[in-house]
């Protein structure tokens, strides 16, 4: 079996090595993968993430183009930037950093991205392709969770999987991906009657609720595999949605924060960008 601590950082490093090799091959065919990242406003957390994405692109040989727009940019202007990137032959992937300011309709912007360049996997057609288990871009965090579990030799088929949280960007898509892997999937959320009773059934528990250390040891079955998608900044570092120290005593495997799901998200974004560029190299 795998180590108890599921090493997202290490696994993502391995994936990035594989991608760097593939990018070298693409470059021999005169294709350099290109990722456009659009950032609206100056939210510090968003800036951190966007910089991490840019750094990773540079390290792998992906051209990264960052477009920063002011907080008060009109929706029309943002949509016209997306149109330009849709039509830019050197751009294989477009990522509009979320959240967007309140005056902009997020769905309208995500819908505008060409599905062929939707490396974030947030376009309705990309989501539809997940539902139908058809080829297409998978959202980076859900895909990263599955990839981390598989590469850590965690079996999904026939397992009782519980997803806590039902967001469009993590909860819902990861539930579908687990279903496609033949797990038996339950989605629990804020209106679920007895959350602990449901989470205690889980062989595999994925927590994406956005509440610091909400999942405690009493909510976890002995031997469960626990995946923590939460990120909360505290004085002395980062915490997840799972009370790591107590839950790790009960779990057979658990992702840390930091160093778990987060790095996998970036690796899968890069993987999607390379996948998109591959279609240019024929
Ligand atoms: N269009 C869009 N696509 C996204 O994929 C997207 C987004 N918007 N908005 C924000 C969230 C968040 N996200 C993370 C990426 C990497 C880490 C990551 O690498 N975390 C490190 C720690 C980094 C740190 O120190 O903050 C870790 O967990 O080890 C975390 C979170 C992508 N997001």
Residues forming CATH 3.40.50.720 domain(s) in the chain: 140-262
ipTM of predicted assembly, 2 dp: 0.97
pLDDT, tens digit (0-9, with 9 covering 90-100), for 229-248: 999 999 999 999 999 999 99
- The answer to the question of whether 166 is labelled as a binding residue is yes
User: How many residues comprise the chain?
Assistant: 282
pLDDT, tens digit (0-9, with 9 covering 90-100), for 1-49: 557 999 999 999 999 999 999 999 999 999 999 999 999 999 999 999 9
Distance 25 CA to ligand 1 centre (A): 28
Residues forming CATH 3.40.50.10860 domain(s) in the chain: 30-119
Answer whether 63's CB lies under 8 Å from 32's CB.
yes
Most ligand 1 atoms within 8 A of CB, residue of 265, 268, 270, 273 to mutate = 265
Supply the DSSP symbol for 203: S
Residue 211: count other Cβ atoms within 10 Å of its Cβ: 13
pLDDT, tens digit (0-9, with 9 covering 90-100), for 119-167: 999 999 999 999 999 999 999 999 999 999 999 999 999 999 999 999 9
Superfamily of domain 140-262, CATH level 4: NAD(P)-binding Rossmann-like Domain (3.40.50.720)
Q: SS3 sequence, 47-67?
A: HHHHHHHHHHHHHHCCEEEEE
What is the Cα gyration radius of the chain? 19
Architecture of domain 30-119: 3-Layer(aba) Sandwich (3.40)
46/55 Cα distance (integer angstroms): 14
- Which residues have any ligand 1 atom within 6 Å of their CB? 48-49, 52, 95-98, 120, 140, 231, 238, 257-259, 262-263, 265-266
pLDDT, tens digit (0-9, with 9 covering 90-100), for 52-73: 999 999 999 999 999 999 999 9
Which residues are the active-site residues? 53, 97, 120
């Amino acid at each position: 079996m795998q180590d108890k601590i599921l090493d997202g950082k290490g696994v993502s490093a391995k994936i990035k090595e594989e991608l760097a090799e593939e990018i070298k091959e693409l470059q021999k065919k005169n294709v350099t993968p290109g990722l456009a990242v659009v950032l609206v406003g100056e939210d510090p957390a968003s800036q951190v993430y966007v910089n991490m994405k840019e750094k990773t692109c540079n390290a792998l040989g992906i051209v990264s183009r960052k477009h920063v727009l002011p907080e008060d940019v009109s929706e029309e202007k943002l949509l016209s930037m997306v149109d330009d990137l849709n039509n830019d032959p050197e751009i294989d992937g477009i990522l509009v950093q979320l959240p967007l300011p309140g005056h902009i309709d997020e769905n309208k912007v995500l819908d505008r991205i060409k599905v062929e360049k939707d490396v974030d996997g947030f376009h309705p057609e990309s989501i539809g392709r997940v539902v139908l288990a058809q080829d297409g871009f998978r959202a980076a965090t859900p895909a990263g969770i599955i990839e981390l579990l598989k590469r850590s030799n965690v079996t999904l088929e026939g397992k009782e999987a519980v997803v806590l949280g039902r967001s469009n960007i993590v909860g819902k898509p990861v539930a579908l991906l687990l279903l496609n892997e033949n797990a038996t999937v339950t989605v629990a959320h804020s209106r679920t009657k007895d959350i602990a009773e449901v989470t205690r059934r889980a062989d595999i528990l994925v927590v994406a609720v956005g509440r610091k250390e909400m999942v405690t040891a009493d909510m976890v079955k002995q031997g469960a595999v626990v995946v923590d998608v939460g990120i909360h900044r505290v004085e002395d570092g980062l915490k997840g949605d799972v009370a790591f120290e107590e839950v790790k005593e009960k779990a057979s495997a658990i992702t840390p924060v930091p160093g778990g799901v987060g790095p996998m998200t970036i690796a899968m974004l890069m993987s999607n960008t390379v996948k998109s560029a591959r279609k240019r190299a024929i």
